[in-house]
Structure 1
């Protein structure tokens, strides 16, 4: 992706409720971000909320990416144990046997039967986390998005991006619970952190790592 003012396509996603979380804050966050960035010059913005269901994510996420053909993809999900933002570097070709919002289990321990063990974002998660901390928002780069549906979505998106000629950027960000739900940040601080991060991704395409871990690298 070149550093130009040409039209770019951005896809923002969040997740619906899942066991133990009847209200997923990533829904409202995506809506807030979409409203705030709706009139950004040169940006075609798309948003989508995915049901937290193994089968739906596995089959519909690639179809969504094929339809939108985004240049930049930023996924948001909730990490209930996080104290701040977790900027995820890697996704793994593994799925835990945990029930989804439809009380279903993954179809297989592997997300893709024939797939690279690990895929990494081309963005510098260390830099993005540092930018958030400098803005007063707690954030850390993370080496793993877990093995639940956040990881599955990230893996499928990174796998899709690796096959595209226009080399889209893909990122997964775990947000912490808000202070009203036992966290340390209030809703406004979480929204400000997500806004800061998204602006950094949009306006600093050089964040794409020049020495990214090869897609064939296994953990």
Structure 2
């Protein structure tokens, strides 16, 4: 049976939960169009997160990898386009590390593009009533670090695997702890990622529609 690996990240920056892991955990063991979803939680720790991601890929032999992370302030499910080879941490990770202007992979390429059908995923989610968009930046914290690490592993050691990164918004429960923060219900987010998996399983070549940004 085809395996789809979906990863989420542990809570960080004083939040008690992380929706990225809540979504992955909810989908763990479920089937989508003949494929089984396997979930793994990754730490919010530079270096270690990518080590555990590679271990999860090697242990599960997935066809697709969806790495999920929380982006507070985002209003929609953000399907990331590109990972860049830099860590510039605004806050320390959960082990107290705060690298600044450090490469994810020394001597690695400047960037990698997602190999998921990012625009087809956004199109499917919007048609289903799930707020979604293409994102042009995954930031410079642990999420971009994971995204770059995933794509570097795929490019150098697992070219048969397709993968990418999706940022998810805060849930209402977390938003209530932070005045003015936008949110999206966890049930809507779970359905959105399920639809993203279904779309990627069925789509090899992405659709040719605008998903760019002016800034």
Return the alpha-carbon distance in structure 1 between the equivalents of residues 138 and 158 of structure 2: 26
* Structure 1 residue aligned with 2:21: 27
Partner of 1:12: 6
User: Which aligned pairs between 1:74-85 and structure 2 lie closer than 5 A?
Assistant: 74-85=66-77
Pairwise CA distance, 1:117? 0.3
2:29–2:38 Cα contact (<8 Å) kept: no
SS at match of 1:163: helix
**Match in the other structure for 2:114:** 121
Q: Say whether residues 1:175 and 2:173 are aligned partners.
A: no
Describe the shift of the 1:197–1:187 C-alpha distance in structure 2 as closer, same or farther (beyond 3 A): same
TM-score normalised per structure 2: 0.84
CA deviation after TM superposition for structure 1 residue 191, in Å: 1.5
Any gaps of 5 or more consecutive residues in structure 2?
176-181, 209-215
Match of 1:95 in 2: 87
Give 1:215's aligned residue.
none
Deviation at 1:80, TM superposition (A): 0.6
Where does 1:85-164 land on structure 2 (aligned, <5 Å)?
Answer: 85-97=77-89, 98-106=91-99, 109-164=102-157
Per the normalisation by structure 1, the TM-score is 0.82
- Quote the offset at 1:44 in angstroms: 4.8
Aligned to 2:30: 36
Write the deviation string for residues 41-97 of structure 1: whole angstroms up to 9, x where unpaired: 3x3543210111113114332333233332110011111111010000110000013
Distance verdict in 2 for CA 1:63–1:188, change over 3 Å: closer
Contact 1:122 1:208 in 2 (8 A): no
